[in-house]
Amino acid sequence: EVQLVESGGGLVQPGGSLRLSCAASGFTFTSHWMSWVRQAPGKGLEWVANIKPDGSEKYYVDSVRGRFTISRDNAKNSIYLQMNSLRAEDTALYYCARDDDMAWGLWGLGTLVTVSS
């Protein structure tokens, strides 16, 4: 089955860290850029970061650059998002998404990150 499954979300205090994971299956993982997209409660979608198939290029939205790091392990068909110095405004449902022809054709169900004291 073609799917993306995120994990690693939870409650964390401001200034803390969290690492999200996304496991891909059912397609050729090494052929695709992969992205993290987030959605704050009751708000719209926001692209967070993406990574090239071989991991050699990574891009970030301005608000997370320097705090978040995207990575991938092609042997495990997985991508990750290391989130440091977390802020209340990072609270959101974090989706893993597959880049298809410059659009996101496959999404996971998301993992919820709550930053609160």
Partner 1 sequence: QSALTQPRSVSGSPGQSVAISCTGTGSDVGGYRFISWYQQHPGKTPKLIIYDVTKRPSGIPDRFSGSKSGNTASLTISGLQAEDEADYYCSSNPGTYKVFGGGTQLTVL
Looking at 40, 45, 67, 77, which residue binds partner 1 (CB under 8 A)? Answer: 45
Binding of residue 75 to partner 1 (CB under 8 A): no
Near partner 1 by CB under 8 A, which window of 13-21, 24-32, 43-51, 81-89?
Answer: 43-51
Pairing label, strands 111-115, 10-12 = parallel
Binding of residue 47 to partner 1 (CB under 8 A): yes
End-to-end CA distance of the chain: give it in Å, rounded: 39
Residue 8 to residues 45, 65, 81, 93, 100, Cα–Cα distance (Å)? 20, 20, 9, 11, 25
Site string for partner 1, 85-104 (x = CB under 8 A): ----------x----xxxxx
Minimum separation from the CB atom of position 16 to partner 1 (A): 25
